[in-house]
Amino acid sequence: MNILITGIHGFVGSNLVMSLKEHHVLYGLDIIAPEKEGVVKTFAWKDIESTAFPMQQLPQFDAIIHLAGKAHDTKNQSATQVYFDINTGLTRKIFDFFLESKAKKFIFFSSVKAAADSVVGDMLREDVIPTPVGPYGESKIAAENYILEKLRVENGELRVAMQRGKQVYILRPCMIHGPGNKGNLNLLYNVVRKGIPWPLGDFENKRSFTSIDNLCYVVEGLLEKNIASGIYHMGDDEALSTNELIALMCEAMGKEPRIWKMNRKMMEGCAGLGTLFHLPLNTERLRKLTENYVVSNEKIKSALGIDRMPVRAADGIMKTIRSFSD
């Protein structure tokens, strides 16, 4: 297949290139255009605007994977409009291009944060009514809604309004990790590496993660199989607690885990004081550090016809952690 990947030079894009380059012809669409092994050419965003670069001068793409976006700023320093300009605006542009093109498959990388900032119940499934909190999740759900408005929804499945044989997939992965990733796992790793004790061991939370290897496997399946259009959540099979995560990090570093089980009520009281006096540990931060966020991957596994993801959550985490020390 001829595949166009937006944001091809980012973390996920680079891994998809490694996964797909042997069997497909890859093109990029990005704000930078360095040469990359396995990529024929990287276009600029202005190139897909018909007035600047007529569609007939572009290669005939079979599939488009839309990765480009503004990542979640955990420090909350990014302006709200930036999220909507990038996450919503670029999605509108590339999806309109897809509808006008001869490409048959469109994969949009949204986020579980478009569905919910916190999980109510045992796990997050696709039938949840979206209630995003903050500009990141809100801009992602706005992008999803733009796609849905261009399509007709029947019995929970997407049908392209023009009935031209196109298939559209909205992927909502939870935290993606792998070698080369610079996200929150790296921050926690640096805390553990310095020997700083983890004082919240009394909280037994569970969180879902997405190994980049499992993600690439799913994308390959969507490209190569006849999967029904729709919204699919993405995560590893097993959810891990923060205590388990720290234990895995220490195992990878050959250290003994330093997990302190400080009294839960006492820590909640300290967080309350932190909120009152504007300290680093406050009620909101404690909630984020200790809440459950488990994401169901049953729908995507059923669609692909598999019982398990190829990579266990613990194995994927270990691979990522070992890459930090490298």
Of 174, 214, 203, which Cα lies nearest the Cα of 315? 214
Q: What are 237-254's pLDDT values in tens digits?
A: 999 999 999 999 999 899
How much of the chain is helix, strand and coil, in % rounded to 5? 40, 20, 40
Which residue is associated with the tokens 């809604």? 145
Burial class of residue 53 (count of CB atoms within 10 Å of its CB; 0-12, 13-18, 19+): middle
pLDDT band, residue 209 (cuts 50/70/90):
very high
Q: For residue range 184-208, list pLDDT tens digits in order.
A: 788 888 889 999 999 999 998 999 9
The model's pTM is: 0.90
**CA–CA dist 326, 316 (Å, integer):** 16
Architecture of domain 2-178+208-237+296-310: 3-Layer(aba) Sandwich (3.40)
